[in-house]
Amino acid sequence: MKPEEILAEALRVVREGGTILYPTDTVWGLGCDATNAAAVARIFEIKQRADSKSLVLLASDLDMVARFVKEIPSIAIDLVEVNDAPMTIIYPGAICSETGDKWHLAASCVAADGTVGIRIPLNSASPETGASKSAGPGHPTLWCKQLVFKLGRPLVSTSANISGEPTPKRFSDIPQEIKDAVDFVVPPSVDTASTGRASQILKLGLSGEVEIIRK
């Protein structure tokens, strides 16, 4: 399948409430529509993880983020503009509901304190340093960003492993039971330059507070 055909099929599955295994700007991830409560519940089942833990989401840009949090801290805008490596920002005031709909995140994506972790994939990322560089249409970072953009709402992006087990850095590291459990597996040929590294995580407050969760 060509990259655009793979993208179309992944989009169809996600729109219909299914789950996918796909390459991101960091590691291979399990994904679904973050506004679909049933799909999110299925992700927790696949990972064998308690749904009391929140999930990281991908957004195409800050405009999308703004639709699902009550207010974006001003410092987040500066951080996103200057960022040159994968960065997950934990935002306060997530907009969610128990059932989920296209205007609300599924409640199980959100932490108990009402925060939600969201990452905007860079246009590309170097496998050696994570720094930005140009990318072709099959590059996983550009590919997953296109998927989120076409979906029009955040996409779940949690590591493709059973809870408590090591995070797989490459497709070949992913347990077969994970591959068998999802509705669509993106062919590993798309995995041309994933960094294999987790993103940095920053937690922001509305008054300019910044807490480094992971460097």
Domain extent at residue 111: 3-214
- pLDDT score, position 22: 92
- pLDDT score, position 131: 35
149: alpha, beta or left, given left = phi > 0 and alpha = psi -120 to 50? alpha
- Rounded Cα gap, residues 60 and 63, in angstroms: 8
| pLDDT tens, residue by residue, 104-158 | 999 999 999 999 999 999 754 333 333 333 344 445 567 888 999 999 999 999 9
How many domains does one find in the chain?
1
User: Whole-model pTM?
Assistant: 0.87
3-state SS track over the chain: CCHHHHHHHHHHHHHCCCCEEEECCCCEEEECECCCHHHHHHHHHHHCCCCCCCCEEECCCHHHHHHHECCCCHHHHHHHHHCCCCEEEEECCECEECCCECCEEEHHHCCCCCCEEEECCCCCCCCCCCCCCCCCCCCHHHHHHHHHHHHCCCEECEECCCCCCCCCCCHHHCCHHHHHHCCEECCHHHCCCCCCCCCEEEEECCCCCEEEEEC
- pLDDT score, position 127: 34
- Lookup: tokens for 27: 């590691």
- Rounded Cα gap, residues 205 and 50, in angstroms: 26
Q: Are 121 and 59 in contact (CB under 8 A)?
A: no
- pLDDT score, position 139: 57
CATH code, domain with 148: 3.90.870.10
Tell me: pLDDT of 71 over 90: yes
Mean pLDDT of the chain: 86
Highest mean pLDDT among 4-18, 48-62, 70-84: 4-18
- pLDDT score, position 101: 74
| pLDDT tens, residue by residue, 72-94 | 999 999 999 888 888 999 999 99
Tell me: pLDDT of 181 over 60: yes
- pLDDT score, position 168: 85
- pLDDT score, position 75: 93
